[in-house]
A and B are shown apart, each in its own frame.
Chain A
């Protein structure tokens, strides 16, 4: 048995003053239900999550008190992926046939600030100015550029593509294109990454209706099959955010294992993928994650990006909706946004940003603290 996505809904990303994160979640859930042509009362179960906008299960107050089990998921940036994995498993187990997955968030402006004690670190790590995710991303790409010959121009090119794609996406936050020159010249946040190379915490919501693939045609003519959805945490020796020390004995990060597991489970090779949404919390992350997911080899990004391979019309379109850079990062919703975009693209409904050639297989990847990754492979 397989599981299919038969309904998708989204609340536009960005800043929506006066609309709570929960309300955005309810909006997305209703849109997904309408897309599948079902009522909330038809839904047998739900998994959902939000990092800082309230408990997802409280959405029953808005959607209707039907008695259905609604389970909260809290996995940082992996929240949406984990909710989808759990919902898929609930259907694969035979326990349920029709479910809802929802993720939403609403973060205040500015970088995330994290309490060191929550991660088992001493107060000194925060007071002396080391407790910043931005530093981790900068140091990871700095070393990667040194080892694999990636240039500053390529960092700017990735962000320029994100804003170009965002301009084609009516639901994106950042819809104004910026030239690579403007991006490179914007304020230096954490060398070598400038302001326009980083995504910002934001707002938004996404919901999906999932069912048994053999029931999918009851709800839609274009079901999208979840061929694989895999989650991994880090192993000893991988380089992760908020690390006061690293081992000289290095290991691949969780992205490598989650991606490989997803491709293996799907029986699909990275070369079979027609488009991908991969975590681009900053432009260096997109570059490194291209190789960590197996979509290319270390160092090939420089040539691929320069040749336009990752553009919507290229041979491997990446972050076709503008990614985190153009959509911001509402933690609970961000991973599901990637799945939403791939469903739209596989249905052929992505409008001006539609990947040409009727794509058949699409990949998603999220990465987050404290060293987790979730990946999916979808096909039509």
Chain B
């Protein structure tokens, strides 16, 4: 079986903790007040301290809210052809609630409070093939 990570190309490497397996989102935690941000940033938006350190975010959480993008957005969106509606949600990971693509695009199969797991989805294709971004899948869905 081919190793899917061998050719994996990410939309922005800085969103992920380098070298972690399985793939993990990279946030930042404030050394003064404990606030966690995603993506990582230099200053704390809560207390203003510049004591942020990288944080590996939990890979599972609870669906906080969701929608389904029903029309093809204008640029800067770069989608795959043909356009397929895609789920978007906020997932509560504990220290931080992260906005993400969802693998599910049927609103009837999404509920606030559902357990969700981190995964990847192809976001768009460039000259070298698909480029992936982070997403959350309902827990227990086949990958």
Contact = CB atoms under 8 A, between A and B. Distances in A.
Given A127-B123, A129-B88, A140 B65 contact: yes
A2 to B, nearest CB: 38
A247 interface: yes
A171 B92 CA distance: 45
Nearest to A139: B65
Interface in B57-72: 64-71
Given A127-B11, A127-B76, A139-B88, A190 B68 contact: yes
B2 interface: no
For B37, B45, B70, the residue with the greatest tally of chain A CB atoms inside 10 Å of its CB is: B70
Interface stretch (A73-81, A118-126, A218-226, A290-298): A118-126
A138 interface: yes
B38 A245 contact: yes
A123 B65 contact: no
Contacts of A128: 11, 77-78, 101, 123-124, 133
B11 A139 contact: no
Interface stretch (A6-14, A107-115, A175-183): A107-115
Contacts of B12: 122-124
A246 interface: yes
A243 B12 CA distance: 17
Contacts of B46: 236-237, 247, 249
A122 B123 CA distance: 15
B95 A248 contact: yes
Interface residues of A, number: 39
A125 B125 CA distance: 16
B101 A129 contact: yes
Contacts of A245: 27, 37-39, 96-99
Contacts of B90: 139, 246
A304 interface: no
Contacts of A127: 11, 76-78, 123-124
A299 to B, nearest CB: 16
A94 interface: no
Contacts of B86: 129
A111 B74 contact: yes
Contact of A131 (B37, B66, B71, B73): B73
A187 interface: yes
B142 to A, nearest CB: 23
Nearest to B78: A127
Contact of B66 (A126, A139, A188, A193): A139
Interface in A244-276: 244-249
Contacts of B27: 245
Contacts of B123: 127-129
Contacts of B68: 188, 190-191
A192 B71 CA distance: 14
B130 interface: no
B97 A247 contact: yes
B89 A139 contact: yes
B107 interface: yes
Interface in A227-245: 236-237, 243-245
Interface in A205-221: none
Contacts of A113: 73-76
A58 to B, nearest CB: 28
A142 interface: yes
B99 A122 contact: no
Contacts of A247: 35, 46, 96-97
A247 B71 CA distance: 29
Contacts of B124: 127-128
A31 B124 CA distance: 51
A192 to B, nearest CB: 7
Nearest to A142: B65
The 9 A-B residue pairs with the shortest CB-CB distance in the complex, in nearest-first order: A126-B76, A138-B67, A143-B65, A246-B97, A245-B38, A113-B74, A124-B12, A139-B65, A191-B107
Given A126-B76, A139-B89, A243-B99, 9 more contacts: A128-B11, A128-B78, A130-B101, A131-B77, A142-B67, A142-B112, A146-B112, A187-B70, A245-B27
